[in-house]
Amino acid sequence: MNGKLDFVSRSQYSGYYLGILGTVVVVGLVALPYVVAQGFTNTLVNLFILLILANMWNVLAGYGGLVSVGQQAFIGIGAYTVLLLAQHGIEPFLAIPVAVVVGAVFAYPISWFLFRLTGGYFAIATWVVAVAAGITITGIPSLGGGTGASLPGLQSMSSVLLGAFTYWASLAVVLASLVSVYLLLRSRLGLALTAVRDNEIGARSIGVKVTRAKRIVYLISAAGCAGAGALIAISQLNVQAANVFNVQWTAYMIFAVLIGGIGSIEGPIIGSVVFIVLQQSLARFNAWYLVIVGAVAVIIAIWARGGIWGVWADRSSTKLFPVGYFLRKSSPEGDQLVTQTNK
Amino acid sequence: MENTPLLELIGIVKRFNKVSVAEGLAFSVADGEAVGIVGPNGAGKTSLFGIISGELHEDAGEVRLGGELLNRRDSADRCKMGIGRTHQVPRPFQQMTVFENVLVAAHQGAGLKGRDATDLASSVLSDTGLYDVANRPAGRLGLLHRKRLELARALATRPRILLLDEVAGGLTDPEVDELIKIVLKARKSGVAVIWIEHAVRALVETVDRLICIAGGRIIGDGKPAQVLAMAEVKELFLGTEPGEESALRMDHYASHGHLGDGEGRQVSP
């Protein structure tokens, strides 16, 4: 029972096999354009974009408690940053990191305005900001106005090469977003955010600067959504305000997070895969696809409030991304977890 | 600055619409002192904690910690400065383990990192009897453990003053005894305590001083036995209306004969 003998591990099980699994998956994904048809990698680009968005919305709403329906503001900002830079001769792929930074830079002043509001008022205000940003950009003729503009700078690439590069860029951004969120949640700030997720007043009273933590999450989320926006611009080779500032992006990301399970890293990954699989396999049913997607959402909302990952997490403590802390103690039989007795 | 009290409340006024929960409240707590607060339901006890910890804003008056004015500080700042509080209804981080609940307090409230934080968290768990459930999600704890976790989290912020809001509420007598030991141990380490509790026995065994509040005013302040012997206080608790909750508790308490003043004289209704 002596505190000095205790130590702490970050995973209940060894992270060794998880590391190997992760490496295999990443290497496999990187090699994919060499082995599959381009149609498949194009679908994966859509999956990656949705996954980035879902991952960001999950951090924002699932941990920060900031239910935004205006993340398309940053998708648009990211897409138009790539367009603007490409018009000035900068390679679109190199413009992706710039778009990420620009997203966060715009988010900072916006957060000072939005954070004066809470709950439903906050949600509506985020939407208003997105609409206002869209209208502002349509008023700029050099950016194509309302009809949009095609993205210059990539015409010289062969379609196969462009497809592969777009895929790799999307893979890089999606991995960066997952690793960032994972490292964030493993950090001291991440544990504080998890406390905010579970009980905001409780978190405040043990010293968590809740507003500052939320602002950091808001900036991260904006940066990620801007990265996704940059990828949308590149994958569509065209930027149009009505598309990139469309609220449907937010509908998709919310769907993916709620289906997969809010408040975990794993949830949005599962949700995004489910959404893309439904979209692909139901495409030939036209409008019925939306009905079925809606039915899935209703079923999950009623019978599995924690999403698909939530159902798993209720039954098992195994996690794909170990962000927890486990108190272990040294004993003659070797190190072991401090037991969960039923006292 | 020898004479600066640790916590000082000056002329605190707080009203919700027409209901007054603080009507010029003023008192101070010295370093290491333990003060119990009693009073009927709705007397303004929990609101007082809200004002000290920064969750509620006073309409008028000053709150000072170690001489420093706190009025414009938020509750997170006040926690970092040394005010640790528990909530009457526990606010556990449900999906985090007990250990993580306490660790985040050591990180944010006490400002510790790495090994220092985990060592503090694990020793607080030992002190509060939660060590064996360290890796259990807080949402699966029973009432006793939830109450203790609330206390453990406050202790892990390394407070200079601990605000306890009915941490003994709903516990059995032996459980209250355990709790008293935990609070006495914290006191030994030099922490000042303000403890709101209906179970007067717990207070008498732990505090130096008792304050009785009613209608947002202090109607008694002094040694526990003296305050409980005051006519105004007795009237409040024993009242003329039989069956009132606080009266019942007091009867129960008096009939067990724990209550006495310095000379060993029994205080009876």
**DSSP per residue over B106-127, as a string?**
HHHTS---HHHHHHHHHHHHHH
Dihedral sign for Cα atoms in the order B136, B138, B143, B144:
positive
* Cα torsion through A120, A126, A127, A131, rounded to 10: 150
What is the predicted pLDDT for the residue at B241?
A: 43
Q: Is residue B171 part of a domain?
A: yes
**CA distance readout (Å), B156 to B93, B116, B120, B124:** 15, 11, 7, 6
Rounded distance between C-alpha atoms, residue A244 and residue A241, angstroms: 5
Helix (H) or strand (E) holding B14: strand B7-16
Compute how many other C-beta atoms are within 10 angstroms of the C-beta atom of residue A16: 9
Dihedral sign for Cα atoms in the order A62, A63, A66, A69:
negative
Residues 6+ apart with CB under 8 A from B48: B12, B21, B22, B25, B37, B213
Residues B72 and B202 in one domain: yes
Supply the CATH number for residue B22's domain: 3.40.50.300
Q: How many domains does chain B have?
A: 2
What is the predicted pLDDT for the residue at A20?
A: 87
Which residue, B5, B9, B56, is CA-closest to B33? B5
Q: Is residue B264 part of a domain?
A: no
Helix (H) or strand (E) holding B94: none
Quick: pLDDT tens for A15-45: 677 788 888 999 999 988 888 888 888 899 9
Q: Is residue B7 part of a domain?
A: yes
Work out the end-to-end distance of chain B between its first and last CA atoms, rounded to an integer number of angstroms: 44
Compute how many other C-beta atoms are within 10 angstroms of the C-beta atom of residue A120: 9
Rounded distance between C-alpha atoms, residue A186 and residue B70, angstroms: 33
Work out the end-to-end distance of chain A between its first and last CA atoms, rounded to an integer number of angstroms: 16
| Single residue among B102, B137, B158 that ends a domain in this structure | B158
Report the residue from B97, B113, B118 with minimal CB separation from A324: B97
Residues B143 and B16 in one domain: no
Residues B42 and B58 in one domain: yes
Pairing state of beta strands B60-65 and B68-69?
Answer: antiparallel
Residues B73 and B165 in one domain: yes
Which residue of chain A has the CA closest to B77? A207
Q: Kindly write down the DSSP assignment for every residue of A103-148, as one continuous string.
A: HHHHHHHHHHHHTT--HHHHHHHHHHHHHHHHHHHHT-GGGTTTT-
| Single residue among B126, B142, B158 that ends a domain in this structure | B158
What is the predicted pLDDT for the residue at A14?
A: 61
State the nearest Cα–Cα gap between B46 and chain A, in angstroms: 14
Which residue of chain B has the CA closest to A8? B118
Which residue of chain B has the CA closest to A336? B135
What is the predicted pLDDT for the residue at A15?
A: 67
Residues 6+ apart with CB under 8 A from A292: A278, A282, A285
Q: Containing domain of residue B140, as a range?
A: 90-158
Q: Kindly write down the DSSP assignment for every residue of B188-243, as one continuous string.
A: HTT-EEEEE-S-HHHHHHH-SEEEEEETTEEEEEESHHHHHHSHHHHHHHH-SSTT
Report residues of chain A scoring pLDDT below 70.
1-5, 11-15, 317, 330-335, 339-343
Q: Which residues of B touch A310 (CB under 8 A)?
A: none
Q: Report yes or no: A102 and A75 within 8 Å, Cβ to Cβ.
A: no
Q: Is residue B28 part of a domain?
A: yes
Six-digit token pair at A4?
A: 């000095």
Chain A: which residues have CB within 8 Å of chain B? 1-4, 6-8, 188, 191-192, 194-195, 197-199, 201-210, 263, 324-327, 337-341, 343
Residues B11 and B107 in one domain: no
Six-digit token pair at A95?
A: 């413009």
Q: Report yes or no: A257 and A309 within 8 Å, Cβ to Cβ.
A: no
Residues B134 and B191 in one domain: no
Q: Is residue B249 part of a domain?
A: no
Residues B37 and B151 in one domain: no
Residues 6+ apart with CB under 8 A from B252: none
Residues B148 and B62 in one domain: no
Dihedral sign for Cα atoms in the order A267, A269, A270, A274:
positive
Rounded distance between C-alpha atoms, residue A4 and residue B180, angstroms: 25
Quick: pLDDT tens for A53-83: 999 999 999 998 899 999 999 999 999 999 9
| Single residue among B158, B190, B214 that ends a domain in this structure | B158
Compute how many other C-beta atoms are within 10 angstroms of the C-beta atom of residue B158: 21
Q: Give the up-direction half-sphere exposure of residue A112: CA atoms within 13 A in the CB hemisphere.
A: 4
Six-digit token pair at A327?
A: 């108190």
Q: Which residues of A touch B55 (CB under 8 A)?
A: 201, 204-205
What is the predicted pLDDT for the residue at B237?
A: 72
**Burial class of A49 by CB neighbour count within 10 A (0 to 12, 13 to 18, 19+):** buried
Contact A337 B135 (CB under 8 A): yes
Residues B178 and B216 in one domain: yes
Number of A/B CB contacts below 8 angstroms equals 130
Helix (H) or strand (E) holding A184: helix A159-186
Six-digit token pair at A222?
A: 């904006």
What is the predicted pLDDT for the residue at A8?
A: 81
Question: Which residues in A201-228 are b (16+ Cβ under 10 Å) and which e?
Answer: ebbbbbbbbbeebbbbbbbbbbbbbbbb
Rounded distance between C-alpha atoms, residue A239 and residue B115, angstroms: 50
Report residues of chain B scoring pLDDT below 70.
1-2, 238-269
Contact A191 B125 (CB under 8 A): no
Phi, psi angle pair for B142, to nearest 5°: -80, 180
Residues B184 and B154 in one domain: no
Residues B7 and B77 in one domain: yes
Q: Is residue B257 part of a domain?
A: no
What is the predicted pLDDT for the residue at A305?
A: 82
**CA distance readout (Å), B52 to A267, A324, B14, B78, B122:** 40, 33, 12, 9, 28
- Given CATH 3.40.50, say whether it is the number of domain A3-337: no
Residues B71 and B172 in one domain: yes
State the best of B75, B77, B112, B157 to mutate against chain A, taking most chain A CBs within 10 Å: B75
What is the predicted pLDDT for the residue at A33?
A: 87
Which residue of chain B has the CA closest to A340? B133
User: Could you give the 3-state DSSP secondary structure of residue A325?
Assistant: coil
Q: Is residue B38 part of a domain?
A: yes
What is the predicted pLDDT for the residue at B239?
A: 57
